[in-house]
Amino acid sequence: PYRWREGIYEWPKGYSAKKKFKYFVVAYDFGIKRNILRSLVSNRIDVLVVPARTSWKEVLKMKPDGVLLSNGPGDPAPIEYAIENIRNLIGKIPIFGICLGHQLLALALGGKTFKLKFGHRGANHPVKNLETGAIEITSQNHGFAVDIDSLKGRAKLTHLNLNDMTSEGLSIKEKFLFSVQYHPESSPGPRDSLYLFQDFIQMMEDFKGK
């Protein structure tokens, strides 16, 4: 495990260093991108990065305000140890999943994933936010997707890919969890989705006040 203290790049100062934090988040490292960590830190979140096999009990002992499930490569279905850990965290703590983390969360909820005929690669994928109606131009790099129909009645579809109409996000408000298939931290690239880090903070606040 290691702490991350570097924030996002600010011209002309360079990468910012944060010393005062309001929240504490444990981030599972399934292949985490540094800009995810920087985006968290820039939102006054103290981040502890833990290995992919860290048990859910260990995570809860750390008493974080939330858990981030990171991006990573490949097929999520064989990563059974991660799915089991996530399943045991659901409902106990706020969870935000990105990319592979989104897929693992769906599997932990009892859903299914499938291999895309054409993987999503690049920085110009249009995604519709079904809650606001806004169209986001997103950065994506994945070959598998969540079968949202397999979660019917359990999770809400929040984001939709406008190229092939596949799932790009899900949430269960009462369980304090949400996830997206794309990369909200992308830099250089689209910055349309940085609001998701604020949504994570709001979810942690809501959990504290429940």
Give pTM, 2 decimals.
Answer: 0.96
Separation between Cα atoms, residue 18 and residue 98, nearest integer Å: 23
Higher pLDDT, residue 207 or 10? 207
Average pLDDT over the chain reads 96
Per-domain boundaries in the chain: 2-111+169-208
Can 99 be counted among the known catalytic residues?
A: yes
> Which residue out of 99, 102, 136, 159 is catalytically annotated?
99
Q: Is the peptide bond before 12 cis (omega within 30 degrees of 0)?
A: yes
**Helix runs in 62-192, H state only:** 80-89, 100-108
Distance CA 110, CA 66 (A): 21
* Percentage of residues of the chain with pLDDT beyond 90: 90
pLDDT of 16 strictly over 90:
no
Query: Of 163, 173, 167, 162, nearest to 202 (Cα)?
Result: 173
**Active-site entry in 120, 142, 159, 183:** 183
CATH topology of domain 2-111+169-208: Rossmann fold (3.40.50)
Q: Which two tokens stand for residue 19?
A: 């010393």
Options 120, 125, 168, 185, the catalytic residue: 185
pLDDT of residue 177: 99
